[in-house]
Every structure is written in structure tokens, then in C-alpha cells.
Amino acid sequence: CMSLCSRTASRTLLRKKAPLRLRFVATSATARKRERIQLQEGLCLGGNFFVQHHIGHGAFGDVYGGLHSKTGQQVAIKVESAEKLNPRLPNEARVYTALAGMSGFPQMHWCGQLPCGLVNAMIIDRLGPSVFQ
């Protein structure tokens, strides 16, 4: 789905038809600066999953709602900066792999880095509405 992304201020991800933008916005969370990752709607991840809308954010990164392009299944897309000193998504992916098939835990569909190497992403089942809703 994606080909490349550059390391410029408005890091651009390209798809076949329309360019998509990935923006890093500095925010202050509990007196500590972190970069908030903004993915544009329609961005394709993991081969068949498309970003729909921003759900929320936390100390580690941001969460987006997504959709499987063939089945219409709703998923959650968790993203964090790959440039963090201690990235959490790779460890979380190992836990989901160990818990695969157990009731009450979402299935992980994909985990990896975006082609630019700047963002880790994980796609899991969306179990319900956001805690903010």
C-alpha cells in the first residue's frame, strides 16, 4: 500500500493515487514533551487495513480506528514513535502473540514499522467504544 516516507518536517507517505501525510506534533503531557503521531484518514497499513479516525492518545502514543478493506471488520491501530528510547509496541505484540486465542483479549492482525522507519504500529481487534465515549 505504501512506498516510502521522507524525513522532512511534513513526512509524506505516498500511495498510488493520492499523497498522504504523517505529521509529528509536539505536545506536553504531564510536563513531559512527546510527539503526537497524526495519521491521515485512508492511509493503508498491514496490507488491508485503512485508517479511519483518531480515537485517543496516551503516554505511549496514539490510537486510531481502522477498517479491514475486504471484510469491513473494525480494528484499533496503535502507533508510537520508533525513535523512543524504550518502544512499547514490540513488547505488547509479544504479549498478544502469547495470549492468542484466549477469550477477552483482542487478536493482533499486524505489527511492524511504517516504511519510513519512524513509526511503530500495531493493528488489533477493536473490542468496543473508546473509554472517552
Find the mean pLDDT for residues 47-70.
90
Q: How far apart are the first and last CA of the chain?
A: 31
Render pLDDT for 80-111 as a digit per residue (tens, 0 to 9).
Answer: 988 888 889 999 999 999 999 898 889 999 99
Residue range 30-39, pLDDT digits in tens: 434 556 788 8
- What Å distances lie between residue 20 and 15, 49, 51, 54, CA to CA? 7, 15, 11, 15
Collapse the DSSP code of 40 into the 3-class scheme (helix H, G, I; strand E, B; otherwise coil) and give the result.
coil
pTM: 0.73
What three-state secondary structure class fits 83?
A: coil
